[in-house]
């Protein structure tokens, strides 16, 4: 029984983590292709992708809660029928949620795309080189339309995860990496008689891949017997109150994602003040931590869906066990990674430094790996706590506690330790780890309090969502 319960979390978490790993590979492919064009293309394209990914991440946050709402509705429907089948009220609620999410995704993606194009025209105000601006604006224009199919895909993804049928997502994303690399070459070099678009071609390829991936996955969902019967694409018929419900849940998630990206960017800016060697070492170690972090994103989503389902079915006693198993899986993997960092740092770092590694960069990165160990435990625990709280219907705690941990503790600590105490790069990473540690502790305390609230015997007949809303 115990193994089956672990397997249930892994079955939901693994496809999501796999998608996250694949998306990292997708961005890496774009950067590799930019390097074939030239140094200025890497600078301009990297800047464009940074802004695009910031907006993309925040857009995804707006519809992330859909999976929890669908899981809760499905759980309630299964409880009413006392089987794995859904009754008609649950089916209609899920269709209503899907319509509303698609409409909200369209509005948000259109606004974010417009903002991305506008940011291209504001680059001169940020002191960027004229040549970089000239290259960045066309790729930002080409990237902007891709936010629409990207967010539509994420709505379908949340729909499938909420219904616990996420297995088909990974293969679609993996194939998209190969398609993206091929289209990059086609548009950059003008194959098959097409014009040579250079750097802008990479943006166009990304947009095309987003649309292709959405259409392929839509076809997969429509062919799924269980999902196809519930699909509703007529977003224009969405109810305003349902759109508002998803937006209220998604707004704190969006701001939390934005806040998390901001503290990492500020840390990078601080590291850059100590020279290119230190910045390069920090970027490498941060990329390592980012890759490992994708596992915890998968666990966060998987545990969140299971908590929402348990809440919908009134099985509150299972929530604590779901949380414990999620942390066990995460910390077991983090420990294996930590052992690798300590035992074979050179092997871990070598893929990012090449055969002719700069000894200074290698030494600096090796020292920062110790902070990466702490970083991964703290940030991973924080992300799982955010998912567990979202499963309980609490999306505001993530934003509130990240504002405290990041902005009141982490960033000031980076400045004090890095500059005032003179710890330099180690001080920046110490402050970064401290910010994540405080945030994870606050979120852990909040989850324990919310869980205790839903377990109170005298409130057992009151819906969990009502109890949490009253807190």
Long-range contacts of 108-114 (CB under 8 A, 24+ apart): 108/59, 108/62, 108/63, 108/151, 109/59, 109/147, 109/148, 109/150, 109/151, 109/152, 110/148, 112/55, 112/56, 112/58, 112/59, 112/147, 113/144, 113/145, 113/147, 113/148, 114/144
Cβ neighbours, 10 Å, residue 450 = 22
Choose one of 182, 217, 238: the last residue of a domain. 238
Q: Does residue 363 sit in the same domain as residue 222?
A: no
pLDDT mean by block of 10 residues, the chain; 471 residues: 65 68 70 67 69 82 86 78 74 90 94 89 70 80 91 88 69 77 85 80 87 87 85 87 90 83 77 72 76 81 82 79 87 90 82 65 83 90 89 83 90 92 89 93 91 67 46 43
Structural domain includes residue 225: yes
Q: Does residue 232 sit in the same domain as residue 336?
A: no
* pLDDT at residue 97, as a whole number: 92
Structural domain includes residue 28: yes
* pLDDT at residue 40, as a whole number: 65
DSSP code at position 239: -
* pLDDT at residue 4, as a whole number: 65
Q: Does residue 144 sit in the same domain as residue 35?
A: yes
Choose one of 238, 261, 289: the last residue of a domain. 238
Rounded Cα gap, residues 381 and 325, in angstroms: 12
Q: Does residue 298 sit in the same domain as residue 442?
A: yes
Q: Does residue 376 sit in the same domain as residue 463?
A: yes
Q: Does residue 21 sit in the same domain as residue 110?
A: yes
Structural domain includes residue 414: yes
Which residue bears the tokens 């099985």?
315
* Overall pTM surpassing 0.95 (yes/no): no
Q: What is the 3-state secondary structure (H, E, C) of 278-343?
A: HHHHHHHHHHHHHHHHHHHHHHHHHHHHHHHHHHHCCCHHHHHHHHHHHHHHHHHHHHHHHHHHHH
* pLDDT at residue 32, as a whole number: 66
Choose one of 186, 210, 238: the last residue of a domain. 238
* pLDDT at residue 469, as a whole number: 42
Rounded Cα gap, residues 398 and 405, in angstroms: 10
Q: Does residue 285 sit in the same domain as residue 210?
A: no
Structural domain includes residue 423: yes
Q: Does residue 269 sit in the same domain as residue 335?
A: yes
Structural domain includes residue 245: no
* pLDDT at residue 99, as a whole number: 92
Q: Does residue 278 sit in the same domain as residue 203?
A: no
Structural domain includes residue 204: yes
Structural domain includes residue 315: yes
| Burial (CB count within 10 angstroms: exposed 0-12, middle 13-18, buried 19+), residue 358 | middle
* pLDDT at residue 339, as a whole number: 92
Contact indicator for 325, 5 with CB cutoff of 8 Å: yes
Helix (H, G, I), strand (E, B) or coil at 186: helix
Give the residue numbers spanning the domain of 280. Answer: 250-471
Structural domain includes residue 243: no
The whole-angstrom distance between residue 15's C-alpha and the CA centroid of its chain comes to 14
Q: Does residue 9 sit in the same domain as residue 55?
A: yes
Contact indicator for 364, 278 with CB cutoff of 8 Å: yes
Contact indicator for 439, 406 with CB cutoff of 8 Å: yes
Q: Does residue 179 sit in the same domain as residue 271?
A: no
Number of structural domains (the chain) is 2
* pLDDT at residue 465, as a whole number: 45
Q: Does residue 142 sit in the same domain as residue 219?
A: yes
């Amino acid at each position: 029984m115990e193994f089956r319960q672990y397997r249930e979390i892994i079955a939901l978490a693994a496809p999501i983590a796999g998608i996250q790993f694949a998306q990292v590979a997708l961005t890496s492919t774009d950067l590799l292709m930019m390097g074939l064009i030239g140094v200025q293309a890497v600078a301009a394209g990297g800047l464009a992708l940074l802004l695009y990914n910031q907006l993309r991440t925040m857009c995804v946050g707006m519809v992330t809660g859909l999976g929890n709402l669908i899981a809760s509705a499905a759980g309630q429907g299964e409880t009413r029928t006392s089987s794995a089948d859904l009754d008609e009220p649950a089916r209609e609620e899920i269709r209503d949620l899907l319509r509303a999410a698609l409409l909200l995704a369209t509005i948000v993606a259109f606004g974010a795309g417009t903002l991305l194009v506008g940011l291209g025209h504001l680059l001169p105000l940020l002191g960027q080189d004229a040549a970089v601006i000239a290259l960045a604006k066309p790729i930002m224009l080409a990237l902007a339309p891709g936010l629409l199919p990207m967010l539509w895909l994420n709505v379908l993804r949340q729909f499938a995860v909420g219904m616990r049928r996420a297995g088909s997502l990974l293969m679609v994303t993996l194939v998209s990496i190969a398609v993206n690399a091929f289209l990059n070459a086609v548009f950059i070099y003008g194959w098959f008689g097409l014009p040579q678009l250079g750097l802008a071609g990479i943006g166009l390829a990304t947009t095309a891949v987003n649309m292709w991936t959405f259409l392929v996955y839509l076809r997969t969902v429509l062919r799924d017997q269980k999902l196809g019967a519930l699909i509703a694409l007529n977003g224009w018929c969405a109810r305003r109150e349902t759109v508002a419900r998803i937006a209220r849940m998604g707004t704190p998630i969006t701001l939390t994602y934005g806040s998390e990206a901001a503290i990492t960017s500020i840390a990078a800016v601080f590291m850059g003040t100590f020279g290119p060697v230190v910045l390069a070492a920090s970027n490498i170690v941060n990329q390592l931590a980012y890759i490992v972090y994708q596992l915890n994103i998968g666990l966060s989503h998987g545990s969140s869906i299971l908590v929402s389902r348990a809440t919908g079915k009134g099985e509150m006693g299972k929530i604590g066990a779901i949380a414990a198993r999620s942390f066990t899986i995460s910390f077991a993997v983090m420990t294996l990674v930590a052992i690798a960092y300590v035992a074979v740092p050179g092997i871990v770092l070598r893929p990012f430094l090449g055969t002719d590694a700069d000894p200074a960069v290698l030494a600096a990165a090796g020292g920062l790996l110790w902070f990466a160990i702490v970083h991964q435990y703290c940030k991973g625990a924080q992300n799982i706590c955010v998912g567990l709280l979202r499963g309980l219907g609490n999306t505001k705690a993530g934003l509130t506690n990240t504002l405290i941990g990041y902005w009141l503790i982490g960033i000031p600590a980076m400045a004090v330790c890095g500059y005032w105490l003179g710890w330099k790069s180690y001080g920046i990473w110490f402050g970064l780890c401290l910010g994540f540690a405080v945030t994870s502790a606050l979120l852990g305390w909040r989850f324990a309090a919310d869980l205790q609230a839903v377990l109170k015997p005298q409130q057992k007949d009151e819906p969990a969502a009502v109890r949490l809303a009253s807190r």
